[in-house]
Amino acid sequence: MGIETEYGVLSPGRPMANPMLMSSQVVTTYRALVQDGRPGHPPARWDYDDEDPLADARGFHLDRASAHPSLLTDDPSQPAPSGPAGAQAGGAPTGAAEVPATPESLERPETEDYDDPSAANCILTNGARLYVDHAHPEYSSPEVTNPRDAVVWDVAGERVMLAASRQLAQVPGTEIVLYKNNVDGKGASYGTHENYLVDRDLPFATLAELVTAFLVTRQVFTGSGRVGLGQTGDEPGFQLSQRADYIEAEIGLETTLRRPIVNTRDEPHADRTRWRRLHLILGDANHLEVATYLKLGTTSLVLWVLEHLDDLADAGVPARAELSRLRLADPVPAVRQVSRDLTLGAGLDLADGTTATALEVQRRVVDLVERALAALGSDEESDAVVARWRDVLDRLSTDPMTCAREVEWVAKLRLLERLRTRDGLDWDHPRLGALDLQWSDVRPERGIYHRLLSSDAVDRITTEEDVARAVHHPPTDTRAWFRGEVMERYADEVSAASWDSVIFDVAGAASLQRVPMPDPLRGTAQHIGRLLDASPDATALLTGLRGDA
């Protein structure tokens, strides 16, 4: 599993600042800060050869000529538009790595050529990718095997963004502020995408049918809270989720228009005969660590149940039938209904003609997961997720405010209501919108969340020591360890990399040499650590890999 987060980007006092150039400067500044590539050696580019964003899990391939440009993420020479205004994104202007971050440079027109796709891309030593996506700097975390690690490397991404903005702020007269949120208040939304590796034997139609009700209702503990209703936020009010108003389809391939509950992109970044990647785009960017932990932990457990439907039936647990009974009559409007129900008591229409609240749906799912684990065997991590899941649901059903340490929308709402009561503010008062934005500021001295964190008002999953290490080092139990370690040890000899390959350019070799990594659970510290330690350069490593193969 892993998380991709597009950060909001702003230059205070410069409303016409070019967001794509600002985003490029965030990426290239951080790359220079960590010395990704030595002077005179070009940075490793991203390898797009294995990417196919137009493959649809429903069994067809979208014709390239008819695809919306925002879907063409495998072509860095044709950056996708960032939104209705037609701003170009996904690459960087020629020479962007050398462009100083000056006030003047931030307002350059968006008509420059984009012939250097590596300029706005950085492959980090922690196995993550930092790049420009749709006019936003995006941190894509390394692959991890459990929800706690997902939190650790997600928070590490916040520290990466903070370091980049701090470095940029040293240029006199220039300030770029980054926000970990999902809306700009003017009708645009940018994503926090989750990725889960799922057994290919699970039919996609079954997956989509049975997971939808869970995804729609998990907002009760994953929502980060938002001031304003509707895509432009013009209608006064508060809702659970920042992304809810932008979900417009039940299922589909798109990610920037007609956004679906279940995305159908069939791009596993792994051996496609064994796995598919479930790419979810409906979730919020969370600062509260427990919210991220539950988001990844509960979703991965539900997917595990779906992978074992037949085994569970044999064990006397009718998971397929129970999840089928939770199907929603109309899932898309239900997303907004759940998000706007601050009482958590509204009944959702189910496909069988009955109704259930979001909390009731979640209770039935956690009951099923618990019985499935009891039938097929559990582990400490899964038991911990279930215990916390159930505890949060219990307290949300009795007094949601008791969840302010764990559930982000609750923490935000409590703070906003105190301000509203103290100063007599209506929901359309601009101070509330400003506080909502300030909540997600990555700067500890400005971000509201960070003030709560420093005052011990929220629960943590991580430690600062774990996060500090994760900024520079990869998880040890996935192929991300190999990717990150070769970037640390042999940066000058890495020509390109992707999620499932590393391409080396070694002196004396007749051609570039690709090391494929189709299995996310190979290339770990246990698997390849001794060989890496014994290899002074990439030539020795490649020789050893050939012997290992």
CA–CA separation, 155 and 91 (whole Å)? 25
Q: 401 forms bridges with which residues in the sheet? A: none
Strand locations in 2-128 (E): 2-6, 8-10, 45-46, 55-56, 60-61, 121-123
What is the secondary structure of 316-378 as a DSSP string?
Answer: T--HHHHHHTT-BSSHHHHHHHHHT-TTS-PPEEBTTS-EE-HHHHHHHHHHHHHHHHHHH--
The per-residue b/e assignment along 132-164, b for 16 or more CB within 10 angstroms, e otherwise, is: bbbbbbbbbbbbbbbbbbbbbbbbbbbbbbbbb
In the Cβ-directed half-sphere of 262, how many Cα atoms lie within 13 Å?
24
CA–CA separation, 392 and 409 (whole Å)? 13
Catalytic residue among 36, 133, 149, 436: 133
CA–CA separation, 540 and 234 (whole Å)? 61
CA–CA separation, 173 and 22 (whole Å)? 14
Host H or E run for residue 276: strand 275-280
- The angle formed by the CA atoms of residues 439, 445 and 451, to the nearest 5 degrees, is 55
Q: Which residues contact 430 (CB under 8 A, 6 or more apart)?
A: none
CA–CA separation, 293 and 458 (whole Å)? 13
Query: Looking at residue 270, what DSSP letter applies?
Result: S
Residue from 241, 236, 276, 272 nearest 259 by CA: 241
Residue type, 311: D
Contact between 244 and 222 (Cβ < 8 Å):
no
CA–CA separation, 360 and 388 (whole Å)? 16
What does the block give as tokens for 513? 């040499």
Catalytic residue flag (residue 426): no
Active site residues: 133
